[in-house]
Amino acid sequence: MTLPLDGVLVADFSRVLAGPLAAATLADLGAEVIKVERPGVGDDTRHWGPPWAPGAEDASSSYFESANRSKKSIELDLADPADRAVAQELAARCDVLVENFRTGALDRHGLGYDAVAARNPGVVYASVTGFGSGEGAALAGYDFLVQAVGGLMSITGRPEEPMKVGVALVDVLTSKDAVVGILAALRAREQRGGRGQRVEVNLLSSLLGSLANQASSYLATGQAPAAMGNRHPSIAPYEALRAKDGQVALCCGNDGQFARLAAEVGRPGLAVDARFATNADRVAHRDALVAQLEEALAADTVDSWVARLSAVGLPVGRVGTVADGFELAARLGLDPTVDLGDGASPQVRSPIRLSATPVSSYGAPPRLGEHNDDIRQMLSTSQNDQETPR
C-alpha cells in the first residue's frame, strides 16, 4: 500500500526530541528518513537512561526509541572532509532536511539553507530552534527552560509552586508544528514549479501558540493567568473531586450537564440555586460548589460514580496512571501500541488515522550507524540512477 509520503527522502540532522519526533512522524507517513549521527556517540538521547530499551545492542535508551522509529542511521563527522562531503550529498538529494543546530552552525559545513538550496532548489529545509534565529539565536533551548520562561509552569500546578508538565510537552508541540510546516511546504512546492523553501519553528513560539485560552485571556485583559491546580479558569465544575476512595475527574461544560450532575448526586436543588444556576455563577462561587459536590460524592466510590455519571452522559473518569491510559485505549479498540517483533520494545501507534492510506509500517529505531554501508553506497551512486522524486 502506498503511503502519503512514499518516495519522499528526509535527511534528519536533528537530535534530542522536537526535530527527531517530527522526522519520525514523516517516517510514519511513508517517508524514508536517514538520521545523521555523531560517530561513536550518536543522538544525545541514546544515553538518557535508564530506562534502557530491552535487547538494544548499543544500550539505547527508551527515550531515544520514543522519537526515532522507522529511520536509518549513518555516522558522519561533519568536521571530517570526507564525511562532510557525504552529508552534503545527502542534503543535495533529499526532499526534506530537518535540523536543530544553533543558528549558523551548519553554514560552516556547507549545510546551511543557502548552500543546500543552491544545489537542491526543491529542498524543504526545516530548522527547529529554542528561541528563533534572530535575537534569541545564541540561547540554548531545552523544553524545561522554555516551560519556565514561556509561562507554562506559572499556570501548571499549585499557585505556591510553579510546576513543569510531566512530559517534554513543548518539544512535542513544536514537532507537530514542524510537521505541519513541512507538509505545507511540500504542497506549496507543487505549486511553485518544484521550488522548496525554509520552514522555521521555535520552542517559545510553539509554546505561546499552544496556550490557547490562557494566552487569549492575557491578551484580552493584560493580566497574566495563574496556576489553579486542576481547576479550569472559566468552567466549573471542571476538575478532580474527592469521592469515597479517590478522585473523580469531572467536566461540566454547560448548564444541562450540571443539572444532570446535581440530580444524580442527589442534590437537584443545586441546579436552581442562584449561586450555581449558570456557569458564570458556578465559577464565581466555585469553593461553595465544590464543598457541596464533594460532600455528596463522599457517599460512594470512584468506580461507582464513574459508572453512574457516565450513564447520564457526563464526561467523567478516574484519575489514573499512564498504564491506565493505555489500558483504556486498548479497551476502547484504539489499538494504542504496535509490536515491532524481534525483541524490540513496543511503540506507541501513530495517532493519525487515514482511511485510504493508513499508517501501516513501523520499523525499529536504528542502532547507531546500522545503515552506514547502505547509505554510503546509495549516495555514491549517480544521482541519475536514483528514483527519489522531486
Sequence-separated (6 or more) residues with CB below 8 Å from residue 261 = 237, 250, 252, 293, 309, 314
Fold adopted by 9-210+335-385: Rossmann fold (3.40.50)
Q: Which residue has the cell 526509541?
A: 65
Pick the catalytic residue: 171, 287, 324, 335? 171
Collapse the DSSP code of 362 into the 3-class scheme (helix H, G, I; strand E, B; otherwise coil) and give the result: coil
The CATH architecture annotation of domain 238-319 reads: 2-Layer Sandwich (3.30)
Per residue in 77-93, pLDDT (tens digit) is: 999 999 999 999 999 99
pLDDT band at 388 (very low <50, low <70, confident <90, very high): very low
Torsion over CA of 93, 99, 104 and 108, rounded to 10 degrees?
Answer: -50
Q: Where in the chain is the domain with CATH 3.30.1540.10?
A: 238-319
The reported pLDDT for the residue numbered 163 is 95
Task: Please count the other Cβ atoms lying within 10 Å of the Cβ belonging to residue 209.
Answer: 13
pLDDT > 80? residue 384: no
Collapse the DSSP code of 108 into the 3-class scheme (helix H, G, I; strand E, B; otherwise coil) and give the result: helix
pLDDT band at 23 (very low <50, low <70, confident <90, very high): very high
pLDDT band at 390 (very low <50, low <70, confident <90, very high): very low
Sequence-separated (6 or more) residues with CB below 8 Å from residue 279 = 234, 235, 236, 254, 255, 258
Per residue in 353-377, pLDDT (tens digit) is: 999 999 988 999 999 999 999 999 9
What mean pLDDT is reported for the chain? 94
Question: What is the average pLDDT across 201-213?
Answer: 97
pLDDT > 60? residue 175: yes
The reported pLDDT for the residue numbered 381 is 85
Give yes or no for a contact between 117 and 123, defined as CB atoms under 8 angstroms apart. yes
The reported pLDDT for the residue numbered 383 is 59
d(CA 23, CA 11): 9
Least confident span in 114-118, 136-140, 229-233: 136-140
Collapse the DSSP code of 11 into the 3-class scheme (helix H, G, I; strand E, B; otherwise coil) and give the result: strand
Cis before residue 237, ω within 30 degrees of 0?
Answer: yes
Cis before residue 51, ω within 30 degrees of 0?
Answer: yes
Least confident span in 56-65, 116-125, 277-286: 56-65
Cis before residue 336, ω within 30 degrees of 0?
Answer: no
The model carries a pTM of 0.91
Is residue 273 annotated as part of the catalytic site, yes or no? no
For the chain, the residue count is 390
The reported pLDDT for the residue numbered 385 is 55
The reported pLDDT for the residue numbered 140 is 84
Give yes or no for a contact between 171 and 44, defined as CB atoms under 8 angstroms apart. no
Rounded to a whole number of angstroms, the CA Rg of the chain reads 25
Taking each continuous run of H as one helix and of E as one strand, the counts in the chain are 14, 13
Q: Where in the chain is the domain with CATH 3.40.50.10540?
A: 9-210+335-385
Question: What is the average pLDDT across 200-225?
Answer: 97
Give yes or no for a contact between 276 and 282, defined as CB atoms under 8 angstroms apart. yes
